[in-house]
């Protein structure tokens, strides 16, 4: 299996790049949203890859982070979701947004992806939810847009309970669970908070 390829970006086309490595050009399918994150042609690039072997072809699917690759591999375990569909989902939502949608039972958000209807979105949530944990969304490896850690990996069970209570309270107030989870995640909890204070600060993020 080809885990990653580090080489020179030789070509860019819609949804596909060619990466030159040791005199060979590797055609790699990538999510459409990644196009704007690519360096200029001729610059070095590392792409984390998944090799899909079919009877009539071998295809490489590539991602700029290992996180995206791992989520892609989870997606293709879902019955009815092939590599191209998984690539399309990540191209629209991204790994973190997809995780939030799954944990929040937000089939509506997932079904916004072209070609993914409500029934498929519901199946995706059902099959992936037991492979993800709400607590995982608040570990130290997840930061805000600037890369700062929001919630420490050693968050106590009591604080995890507070987090869940705050999310449920926002849902009761009428906010979609995905948005509620994101709003709570954006709060700095390096100092433990009570539910009411966490709720008050989370509302500022909505």
CATH code: domain of residue 78: 1.10.150.20
125 and 185 housed in the same domain: no
Model's pTM, two decimal places? Answer: 0.69
15 and 79 housed in the same domain: no
60 and 124 housed in the same domain: no
Exposed, middle or buried, 18 (CB in 10 Å: 0-12/13-18/19+)? Answer: middle
Element (H, E) at 63: strand 58-63
pLDDT tens readout for residues 119-168: 999 999 999 988 876 555 554 343 333 333 334 344 566 777 888 888 88
pLDDT attached to residue 4: 95
32 and 55 housed in the same domain: yes
Of 12, 41, 64, the residue that ends a domain is 64
Side-chain-facing half-sphere of 104: CA atoms under 13 Å = 25
pLDDT attached to residue 153: 41
Name the domain count of the chain: 3
Q: Which domain holds residue 180?
A: 138-206
């Amino acid at each position: 299996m080809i885990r990653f390829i580090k080489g020179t970006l030789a070509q860019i086309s819609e949804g596909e790049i060619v990466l030159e490595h040791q005199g060979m050009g590797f055609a790699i399918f990538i999510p459409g949203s990644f196009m704007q994150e690519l360096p200029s042609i001729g610059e070095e690039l590392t792409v984390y890859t998944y090799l899909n072997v079919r009877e009539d072809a071998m295809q490489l699917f590539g991602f700029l982070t290992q996180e995206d690759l791992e989520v892609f591999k989870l997606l293709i375990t879902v019955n009815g979701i092939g590599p191209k569909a998984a690539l399309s989902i990540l191209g629209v939502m991204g790994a973190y947004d997809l995780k939030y949608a799954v944990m929040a039972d937000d089939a509506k958000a997932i079904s916004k992806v072209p070609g993914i209807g409500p029934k498929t979105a519901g199946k995706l949530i059902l099959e992936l939810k037991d492979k993800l944990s709400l607590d995982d969304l608040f570990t130290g490896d997840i930061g805000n847009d600037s890369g700062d850690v929001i919630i420490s990996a050693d968050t106590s069970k009591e604080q995890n309970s507070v987090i869940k209570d705050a999310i449920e309270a926002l849902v009761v107030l009428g906010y979609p669970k995905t948005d509620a989870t994101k709003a709570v995640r954006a709060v700095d909890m390096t100092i433990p908070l009570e539910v009411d204070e966490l709720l008050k600060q989370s509302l500022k993020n909505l």
